[in-house]
Amino acid sequence: MPAMPLPALGETLKPMRIAGFVIGALFALALAGGPARAEAMRIGVAAPLSGPSQLLGEQIRNGALEAASAPDITLEVADDTCTGEGGVNAAQRFVDAKVQIVVGFLCTESIEAALPILKQANIPVITVGVRTDSREKTGWPVFRLGPRADSEREAAGRLLTRLWRDELFAVIDDGTIYGRELAESFRTVAEQSGLKPVFTDTFRPQLDNQIGLVGRLRKAEATHVFVGGDRDDIAIMARDAKKIGTDIIFAGGENLRSAPGDVPLAQGTLMVALSEWSDMATPAAISKLGAKGIVPEGYVLPAYAATEIAIAAVTETTDTRKPLAETLDSREFSTSIGPVRFNDKGDLSANPYRLFRFDGSRFLPLDVQ
């Protein structure tokens, strides 16, 4: 019987090599305690956790912690103290911890001191409270969940000129920088839209009555008045207008959301302001925070949403290898306070200010087409 041919030496060793490789891999995994895991995502959180703004800083920390509850996410929380020195110390801590992105920063002083260090380390920032344009000052990507400083003025002009296009309106202010800028911006937008107020004036604030002012408004036949001033003055004007038998609708800015004074605000008063974060939040987010005993007030929800955006952006960047700032610039993010998109300046692409009407007990949103 003819002898069976022997297999070539290489063919004999091939199965042995494969078996050895498998055994070696299993041994390495056993030593490592299981399959290899990706490095944890690292996110910095800058908040004033001491000093007069500590309560607001704790809101930022609580919101961020609840949004980043997954075990593969590490938060590096730093107290920026709302000062330049605190901002520098926080930024250096983030660099040393090798965070990929930072959320938080409530104060201009701290973020402007931190940005040169974060820029050098290639770490972008999502801020929840700063309204100044830090991106233009430093050339480094800063993304804002809060509005720009001029957002209230822009919204007041745009929304109320649409609503009052066929009305006889007046524009008055209390002489403060805030009141004057708000009123002047409204008047300018109105005139650019082809509308001219029937009366303009600067009034003396904090008087017990404004009979003389509302008398002049009645003489000018104004039926709607935009006021650059505070809640108490607007409430007194509406009360006195009713006293002399003239029907005037008053409107103002977000100062109307301050605490009520001795004179109640008139029903029908209009306000241009931000929506309450809790009114924008999803039930799931409110429920999750409530389960931990966290009241969704102040900066809790903005910090929660900023952290959600940071997690989504870092995750996508890990997959696409695009720069993190480019990812933040290029897409819409789904968050617990609704969809968020940034424009090329790092601002919210849509002005978050809305128009509200007072119903006698609270402000309700008013849709303006």
Q: What is the 3-state secondary structure (H, E, C) of 34-93?
A: CCCCCCCEEEEEEECCCCCCHHHHHHHHHHHHHHCCCCCEEEEEEECCCCHHHHHHHHHH
0.85 cut: is pTM over it?
A: no
Tokens in use for 269?
Answer: 């008063």
* Eight-class DSSP state of 369: -
Give residue 46's identity as a one-letter amino acid code: A
Q: Nearest 5°: phi and psi at 201?
A: -170, 160
Instruction: Answer for the pair 104, 298: CB distance below 8 angstroms, yes or no.
Output: no
State the pLDDT at residue 172.
98
> Residue 280 has what pLDDT?
86
Q: How many CB atoms lie within 10 A of CB 298?
A: 18
pLDDT tens for each residue of the chain, 369 residues long:
444 343 443 444 344 444 444 344 433 433 343 333 356 899 999 999 999 999 999 999 999 999 998 899 999 999 999 999 999 999 999 999 999 999 999 999 999 999 999 999 999 999 998 876 666 666 678 999 988 888 999 999 999 999 999 999 999 999 999 999 999 999 999 999 999 999 999 999 999 999 999 999 999 999 999 999 999 999 999 999 999 999 999 999 999 999 899 999 999 999 999 988 888 888 999 999 999 899 999 999 999 999 999 999 999 998 888 899 999 988 999 999 999 999 888 889 989 999 999 999 999 999 886
Collapse the DSSP code of 23 into the 3-class scheme (helix H, G, I; strand E, B; otherwise coil) and give the result.
helix
Cα dihedral sign, 301-303-305-311 = negative
